Amino acid sequence: MKRHPALIPLSRDHKKGLMLAQLLKKNAPEYKGLPTDPIGKMNYAKELYKNELDRHFREEEEFVFPYLKGRSKYIDELVTEILSEHKILKSSILSLDDDDSLMDNMDKIGHLLESHIRKEERNLFETIPQVLSEEELKILKQKFDQTRPSKNSCKTK
């Protein structure tokens, strides 16, 4: 389904998140330009969290979720699940350590991150345009436009 323009920045983040999820899983294929060894993958996951995922989670929590609160029991439960997963993912990624359980821990994170992103894309993001007004969606889009550089401003192709 075509994503509402207000949600496109988050969906773009999800593409990178899905790549991380695949990278962290056991028996992951090699991805050009990404680490192949466990320590490299661990460090990459921590850096990606600090540089991108943390901002992504905060933007969902500060920009999107306040508009959704109280719209329906389903949405409230979904947002509660997602918030819990944000905390688990943050804690799990930042506590990764070079020990005997590193590969198992990264595999669990990879599966949880993939499931989390799919839940947001297939459930939450499909529901948002149905419950928010066009004015509310426009405000969300403006918030992302203000906090993120435009992806279209430097196209060379």
How far, CA to CA in Å, does 79 sit from each of 67, 103, 152?
A: 11, 29, 30
Helices 38-48/73-94 angle, 10° precision: 130
- Residue-wise pLDDT for 12-67, tens only, equals 999 999 999 999 999 888 999 999 999 999 999 999 999 999 999 999 999 999 99
* Cα–Cα distance for residue pair 120/12, rounded to 1 Å: 12
> In which band, very low, low, confident or very high, does the pLDDT at 147 lie, cut at 50, 70 and 90?
confident
* Cα–Cα distance for residue pair 44/23, rounded to 1 Å: 10
Does residue 83 surpass a pLDDT of 80? yes
What predicted TM-score, i.e. pTM, was given to this entire model? 0.91
Mean pLDDT for the stretch of residues 83-103: 97
